[in-house]
Structure 1
Amino acid sequence: MASRWLVVLMTWLACAGCARPAKTPDPAPTVDGLMADYAKPDGPGASVVVIHDGRIAFSRAYGLAEVQTHTAATVETNYRLASLTKQFTAMAVMLLVADGKLRYDDRVVDVLPGFPDDARQVRIRHLLNHTSGIWDYEDFVPENSTVQVKDADVVRLVAQAGRMRFEPGTQVRYSNSGYAVLARVVEQVSGKSFAVFLRERIFEPAGMRGTVAYEAGISTVPRRAYGYAPEAGRLRPRDQSPTSAVLGDGGVYSSVVDLAAWDRALEKHTLLGEAGQREAFASAPLPGGASAHYGFGWFVDQDAGRPRLTHHGETCGFTNAIVRYPAQRLTVIVLTNRAGGEPWRIAQSIANHWLEAPGREPWPFESMANSR
């Protein structure tokens, strides 16, 4: 009798074992394969992080943060984020709105002295979601310029156009100018420099200890990655350009470890309440029922019915990408210190490793003109 119950028990345990869900495959071979081009021992590299279910599920670095000194990249290496900066600029504005010091429908001309009068109908909201119609300041910076443009210069450069691209709110066109102007709005309304505001209201509360809005001669970047770009068949130093000193559209340096802390702050609403933050993740509507596929600092779309938030960043010597699936609590970030490449495709492929149904391409930015 005892032996019969033993057989039954063994059979039940075997079936129970069969019913257990399969263990998630080790991501390292997949990620290493995708990052192979950045893993060369004598070239610029990259750092990667995957945040899943509120914790860092995978992180790794490849290649060099600085080729000349043979300094290896680590997960704490700080890269220039380029347009991934825009999510912090947007958060700064949202915090001022939450403080009651600013409204999304305020006219920029009423908030910021010197904003061109021909753009008098541009609202704060239009700048945030790229529906302002103002021209990109980079169109007015000579290629051979040796003087770096700063956020304060952008208003003057935009005014040179003398006209708008389109009526505010009627179209979407990616504009670095909008986010440089927003940095100036933050300074005007808060009475603090943009870099100080970000540090005090975002980076420190979120636990982003190494992140900085870099200003030459004022701040330093710890564990800094230096940028490189292909030239004559080789990757050569190319860390700065005439527009590298503009902070609002792309001047923040950060690491994948700090960005994991940022992701955690977004999920836990550490900086801003859920209702206020939700607006950042809502795509701006356009006339006729169309969507801008952009919220406040994030591209927004649906991927197989799943809300997806993305952004890429490209600037002198750096190319980066982030993808977030809020409902799946999944975020993938890829930072690189070289021009070129498509880290957004890598980030999506890594995300697919965790998703039951693989995500799709393209990301929304690929159909929007003048992305950076």
Structure 2
Amino acid sequence: MTSAPPELPFVLREDRGLTDYCTGLLGRGPHESPGLLVAVARGGELRYGCSGLADLEHRIPLGPSTRFEIGSIAKQITSRALLTALGEESALDAPVTALLPDATHLAAVTLRQLADHDASVPDYDTLLALSGRRVWDYWSQADVRRLILRQPVHTDIPWHYSNSHHLLLAEALRERTGRSLAAFARDLVFPVYGMRQSSFRAAPEELIVERARSYYRDSRSRDWRLADTSDATIGPHGLYSSLTDLVAWEHAIRSDDTSIDAELLKKSVALGRQSWVLGRTARRHRRSWLFGHGGSRFGFRSALWSDGSGTTVAVLAAREDIDADRVADDVRDLDSDPGGAVPVTVPAVRHPQRSSPSARPRDGIYWSCGDGSEWQLRTRGDRVVVTGGQGEISLRQSSEGAWIDDRPAVRLTTVGDEGDAHEGKTVEITQADGFLLTSLEYVGTGAAGTTDGPDSVVTYIQVELGTELTWRVRGARALAQTGRALHQFRQVGADCWLGGGMRVRRWNDQLIVDLPRARNIVFCRKAEGSHGRSETQQQPAV
């Protein structure tokens, strides 16, 4: 039996054009593949289209009441739940230790910094993957909390996006109220925002009525496989919701507290980079700012974005091959209203003291701090050619000393003051107005340097993770095995390797692993004949 959708300030109707768009994107019949649902809410009307199935085994079609795991869209609901429990927004400025006294290494971090991703707690999903855990292994909330609180926080990394931030907020709410996030949201958050078809799934055995199953393609057979998991963590994700509930949330949050998006815009412009406020973020599409979030979790993909005119676009997919943000942008463009999106032309200016525009960047291989991708910079005559991301960009030096492309749409600057030891080693690629796209760190020339010798095998351990890493080197290639996971690397510098979005640096008897959401994970070489003990060295300056 299908439950009745919540009362909405919108008239709900299917849009044939949106349904045809979904069918065309999936490329198969509506009863042959995992499904996709898209919707546009504007002017008192919620139009949706969908194609494909919510459950392949039982041939259950998608609909506006189908419940999806919405991934990181849940972060703003978690932030709002804690704010409700605290009673006033100023309470977010308390240190994390006020509610989590065992988080002693976070004494200088506030609850607001966690909610706004202005902290740098290592991402627990990244740590679990690095330690060799599989997605279908059971991860309890308590176990992951202990794992997070064992990790050091590096003060030289001021911020990065991390799922650990909102799991800690969920735990802070538990300490404050004596109730789990799932129970608190069910009774005191979802009813307020008209979300009658939403629930946090705090245990893998819990039943979720009308939920979709998520899928991925087998890399060899190309058959669909279930992407189910035994994950039991909530806060950064773990929320199942429907299209109608998400639109109800978006309508209520913008009607109730429109200042949050104004604050987001102000912060993004001031910092010149992607920013967050209470789990909500802003990004630009064409000439408009969009406010909301995207989500990705175990085969589910989602996006929920509103523009300055109040038009909301939602995307929910039960398959991993959908880029939900891109689909949302396509739907917005296809459905554009000449009087709809309100462009915001306030320029975002980078802080000039951080850049030396006249310095020529060093030729070589670079690692992206944002997504772990590999880039190459090389000099070609009077130009610098940048390869990576989505292609190749040729840059020339302008009369002001900045490196720009011919349109100009992209700018490159080196980071550090003149004479700084790091000058030329780190570069920022920004849009023409200075809004940060990515930050790249120099890692080497790409030529192999010294190695441990042919076919050398060394074992390292990471105490906080309780993980052993076997490091095998053969020429310029290396394999790292942790638990059931095997990672491949290639040498790009004398003591630096790249692979799988990771950077590995060797320093004396340590391997230092960097990932975009977890930096400076130190593995110490295991002493001969030891049982879990390691030889410790002072950590290098980074």
TM-score by length of 2: 0.55
- The partner residue of 2:148 within 144, 155, 158 is 158
**2:282·2:289 contact (CA, 8 Å) conserved in 1?**
yes
Question: Do 1:50 and 1:332's aligned partners in 2 also have CA atoms closer than 8 Å?
Answer: yes
Q: Which residue of 1 aligns with 2:504?
A: none
* Counterpart residue type for residue 313 of structure 2: V
Paired residue for 2:94? 106
Which of 146-155 and 40-49 deviates more? 146-155
Structure 1 CA distance for aligned equivalents of residues 265 and 311 of structure 2: 18
Q: In structure 2, how many angstroms separate the alpha carbons of the residues matched to 1:365 and 1:187?
A: 36
Give the counterpart letter for 1:295 in structure 2: V
**Who is 1:174 aligned against?**
161
Q: Secondary structure at the match of 1:204?
A: coil
Where does residue 325 of structure 2 map in the other structure? Answer: 344
Q: In the TM superposition, what is the alpha-carbon distance from 1:282 to its structure 2 partner?
A: 5.0
User: 1:54 and 1:357, CA in 2 relative to 1: closer, same or farther beyond 3 A?
Assistant: closer
Question: Normalising to structure 1: TM-score of the pair?
Answer: 0.78
CA contact (8 A) 1:283 1:291 kept: no
In the alignment, structure 1 residue 227 sits paired with structure 2 residue 230:
no
What RMSD in Å do the two structures reach over aligned CA positions?
Answer: 3.3
Residue identity matched to 1:328:
S
Take 1:72 and 1:255, find their aligned partners in 2: how far apart are those partners? 14
Q: Which has the larger radius of gyration?
A: 2
CA distance in 2, matches of 1:253, 1:230: 22
Pair 1:189–1:54, CA change in 2 (3 A):
farther
Q: Is the 8 A contact 2:302 2:317 kept in 1?
A: yes
Kindly tell me: are residues 227 and 303 of structure 1, through their superposed partners in 2, closer, same or farther at Cα, counting changes over 3 Å?
Answer: closer
Mark the CA change 1:102 to 1:196 in structure 2 (over 3 Å): closer, same or farther.
Answer: farther
Aligned partner of residue 335 in structure 1, secondary structure: strand
Candidates 119, 122, 144, aligned match of 1:135? 122
- The whole-number CA distance in structure 2 between the counterparts of 1:333 and 1:105 is 32
Deviations 1:63-93 (A, max 9, x none): 1000001111111100111111112112112
Give the aligned residue type for 2:81. A
- Residue 171 (structure 2) pairs with residue 184 (structure 1): yes
Is it true that 1:53 corresponds to 2:12 in the alignment? no
1: CA distance, partners of 2:207 / 2:437: 33
Change (3 A) 1:30 1:200: closer
Alignment partner, residue 215 of structure 1: 202
Residue 203, structure 1, aligned to residue 185, structure 2: no
Which amino acid in structure 1 is aligned with residue 85 of structure 2?
L
Change beyond 3 A, Cα 1:60–1:290: closer
- Secondary structure of the 1:354 match is coil
Does structure 2 retain, via aligned residues, the 8 Å contact 1:208–1:258?
yes
Distance 1:217-1:151 versus aligned 2 partners, 3 A rule: closer
Task: Give the count of matched residue pairs.
Answer: 332
- The answer to whether the Cα contact below 8 Å between 2:201 and 2:238 also exists between their aligned partners in 1 is yes
Separation in structure 1 between the aligned mates of residue 203 and residue 287 of structure 2, nearest angstrom = 44
Give the direction of change, closer, same or farther, for the CA distance of 1:96–1:138 in structure 2 (3 Å limit): same
Structure-1 residue corresponding to 2:57: 68
Residue 95 (str. 1) matches residue 77 (str. 2):
no
Checking the alignment, whether the CA contact within 8 Å between 2:18 and 2:49 is kept in structure 1 is no
For residue 276 of structure 2, give the secondary structure of its aligned residue in structure 1.
coil
Cα deviation per residue 1:135-171 (whole Å; 9 max; x = unaligned)?
111233243456422333333112332342645xx33
- 2: CA distance between counterparts of 1:157 and 1:298? 26
Name the structure 2 match of 1:5. none
Partner of 1:322: 304
CA distance in 1, matches of 2:43, 2:337: 12
Structure 1 residues 218, 208: closer, same or farther in 2, change over 3 A?
A: farther
Structure 1 residue 109 displacement after superposition = 1.5
CA apart distance, 1:345: 0.9
Where 1:51 maps in the other structure, the secondary structure is strand
Higher relative contact order (CA 8 A, sep 6+): 1
Please report how far the alpha carbon of residue 37 of structure 1 lies from its aligned counterpart in structure 2 after TM superposition. Answer: 3.3
8 A Cα contact 1:83 1:313, kept in partner: yes
* Residue 266 to residue 163, structure 1, CA distance change in 2 (3 Å): closer
In structure 2, do the counterparts of structure 1 residues 217 and 346 end up closer, same or farther at CA, with 3 Å as the change threshold? closer
One of 262, 265, 278 as aligned partner of 2:252? 265
Q: Percent identity, aligned pairs only?
A: 23
Partner of 1:13: none
Partners of 1:302 and 1:257 lie apart in 2 by 25
**Structure 1 position 83 matched with structure 2 position 72:** yes
- Rounded to whole Å, the distance in 1 between the matches of 2:438 and 2:189 is 31
Map of 1:239 onto structure 2:
228
